[in-house]
């Protein structure tokens, strides 16, 4: 495949394009879409609408290097899950006290966002179901790995990762953790996720809440 970006219009467009591949993979399984907020939610919303299955969020937080926040050395997810890149931790000279402080700060923010997005409602029960973890793009894969690990004790029957675009090396690595990885576009020279979209405007908390509310109402009326 060429490394030249073939762009999606926006996240909703990406979700509509991704949905048929997810539908084929899920088949007749009892499925749930778990989107990674915030950017994964518009994508996941389109997938859940196409499949007619429940949509929920799986809250994850990237662990950024203090002096370069965009550089991640790991991620955390619901359920006190921590995934670290040991090579990065060693190369950056991050001490255990510093790592602990960063994890605690992000864990506090994770709890705030869970409460905000769900309005106090419990997470969807995924026991015995096929769970599709959806994001808008996967670069390093830290957040997706944390998400998959958080599902290990929740009784999911199958764990599928679905994303419109991802780094080729990351897809290969995730295939060792997930039952299946679905990705429409891969690239060796991946760069930033945003370069694969014409419109990559920030997704705000209000939009996340609105999409989750719409999905819940659609499920209730089905």
Q: Using an 8 Å Cβ cutoff, are 130 and 26 in contact?
A: yes
Question: Which pLDDT score is estimated for 88?
Answer: 86
Q: Which domains does the chain have, with CATH numbers?
A: 11-215 (3.40.50.2020)
> 42: which residues sit within 8 A by CB, 6+ positions away?
10, 11, 12, 15, 136, 203, 207, 211
Give per-residue pLDDT as tens, 208-222.
999 999 999 888 776
Q: Using an 8 Å Cβ cutoff, are 10 and 197 in contact?
A: yes
Nearest Cα to 30, choosing from 110, 137, 131?
131
- Higher pLDDT, residue 5 or 157: 157
Give per-residue pLDDT as tens, 125-157.
999 999 999 999 999 999 999 999 999 888 899
């Amino acid at each position: 495949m060429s490394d030249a970006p073939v762009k999606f219009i926006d996240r909703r467009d990406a979700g509509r394009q991704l949905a048929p591949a997810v539908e084929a993979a899920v088949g007749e399984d009892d499925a749930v879409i778990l989107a990674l907020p915030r950017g994964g939610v518009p994508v996941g919303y389109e997938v859940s609408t196409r499949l007619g299955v429940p949509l929920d969020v799986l809250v994850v937080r990237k662990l950024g290097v203090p002096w370069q926040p965009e550089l991640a050395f790991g991620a955390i997810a619901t359920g006190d899950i921590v995934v670290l890149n040991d090579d990065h931790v060693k190369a950056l000279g991050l001490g255990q006290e510093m790592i602990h402080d960063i994890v605690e700060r992000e864990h506090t923010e994770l709890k705030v966002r869970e409460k905000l997005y769900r309005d106090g409602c419990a997470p969807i029960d995924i026991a015995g179901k096929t769970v599709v973890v959806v994001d808008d793009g996967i670069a390093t894969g830290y957040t997706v790995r944390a998400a998959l690990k958080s599902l290990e004790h929740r009784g999911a029957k199958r764990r599928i990762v679905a994303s419109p675009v991802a780094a080729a090396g990351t897809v290969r690595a995730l295939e060792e953790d997930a039952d299946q990885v679905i990705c429409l576009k891969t690239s060796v020279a991946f760069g930033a996720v945003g370069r694969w979209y014409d419109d990559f405007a920030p997704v705000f908390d209000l939009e996340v809440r609105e999409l989750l509310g719409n999905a819940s109402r659609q499920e209730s009326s089905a």
